Structure 1
């Protein structure tokens, strides 16, 4: 029996495609006092060296999917799930219930005036829309996404575009959002947008 995620009185689901700057925006909201629950951070902790999800992953996929220090071999798993849809389903069956439980636990101890859930695949998942008060999309051009991810990860442009193709389109994400922050112009251009939305969220959370 998994713990249901009980939304705070006011909560925001923050999403965006790969390379859009979700973590940067979340950090700016955190500086203003919002409580951040990042499902990507939770997923990484579950698959870190000897993380709690690793025994189930290795039982399902085999020891070749662990790095020498006992973490998930992300490159190998990425290659597999992009070539085999059933592998993605099997991995999600292991990770998603654990992420859901950890997310609920983090939200239960949040102390900020509102909670921001950072969920990269919020639109794709479907269920998240009902759990949050508003959806905030971080948006930038596709060329900016590709350049950022190539710079930080060393992936080729084609590899980045393949990841993007597995996500909803930019247009679908914007259509599903209640609020949008543009992130083509760097951190200083983000601050006033975050501050403006923070004030709105504070008013809505009362």
Structure 2
């Protein structure tokens, strides 16, 4: 059996990336979420967590010994040098974790979902990139109602994520998600049937 090719799936906050990803899973596609991989590498007992605690102190740990993400985010968000240190520790580990999970795929193609696919360089692990895109006003309203966050917080996240042009410049396929969930699922099915005809992610 030939090795599955890898599709990178990305999109800004509130674009509908997760809903699209879920429908690919429902269609039987093997999918790895980079956010999950990022959580696995800092679980208690993994070397990365010990290194993070050593650098930032006990304040980044919860009472049960797990990582206090909010505290860590606060620390690195304000300090570019600390953020770079953290990224240089975690990115290679996350790559490793993703690769191990992708290697288990039994579907004709597998998907790597990552909000930072382009920024983190993870798109280099893929043969093709699908961007789920949505107009900014929809991104804002969806994210605010889903996360209960303020418009200001969402705008800050939008700004930190690679800008839309940058993301779209890496895209082979773009799914503009500006309608309802049924339409989104239909588009995912259309893309899925197209992807099944591809070899190595290329037409």
TM-score range, shorter chain: 0.7 to 0.9
What runs of 5+ residues in structure 1 fail to find an aligned partner?
A: 1-7
Q: Deviations over 1:120-139 (max 9, x none)?
A: 1111133x333212110011
The alignment's C-alpha RMSD in Å is 1.9
| TM-score, with structure 1 as normaliser | 0.86
CA distance in 1, matches of 2:32, 2:116: 14
Q: Determine if the alignment matches structure 1 residue 14 to structure 2 residue 9.
A: yes
CA distance in 1, matches of 2:141, 2:87: 28
Partner of residue 46, structure 1? 41
Kindly state the Cα deviation for residue 51 of structure 1 after the two structures are TM-superposed: 5.7
Q: Deviations over 1:29-67 (max 9, x none)?
A: 11112110111111123335x262322211121111122
Partner of residue 77, structure 2? 82
Q: Deviations over 1:166-185 (max 9, x none)?
A: 11112221222110112232
Partner of residue 181, structure 1? 175
CA distance in 1, matches of 2:72, 2:138: 25
Q: Determine if the alignment matches structure 1 residue 157 to structure 2 residue 157.
A: no
| TM-score, with structure 2 as normaliser | 0.87
Secondary structure of 1:193's aligned partner: helix
Q: Determine if the alignment matches structure 1 residue 31 to structure 2 residue 32.
A: no
Q: Deviations over 1:5-44 (max 9, x none)?
A: xxx5421111111222222211111111211011111112
Partner of residue 99, structure 2? 104
CA distance in 2, matches of 1:120, 1:205: 25
CA distance in 2, matches of 1:64, 1:90: 17
CA distance in 1, matches of 2:145, 2:96: 33
Any conservation in 2 of the 1:10–1:204 contact (CA below 8 Å)?
A: no
CA distance in 2, matches of 1:107, 1:9: 9
Secondary structure of 2:129's aligned partner: strand
Distance 1:123 1:157, change over 3 A: same
State how 1:104-123 maps to structure 2 within 5 Å.
104-123=99-118
Any conservation in 2 of the 1:51–1:71 contact (CA below 8 Å)?
A: no
Number of residue pairs the alignment of both structures matches = 197
CA distance in 2, matches of 1:156, 1:134: 34
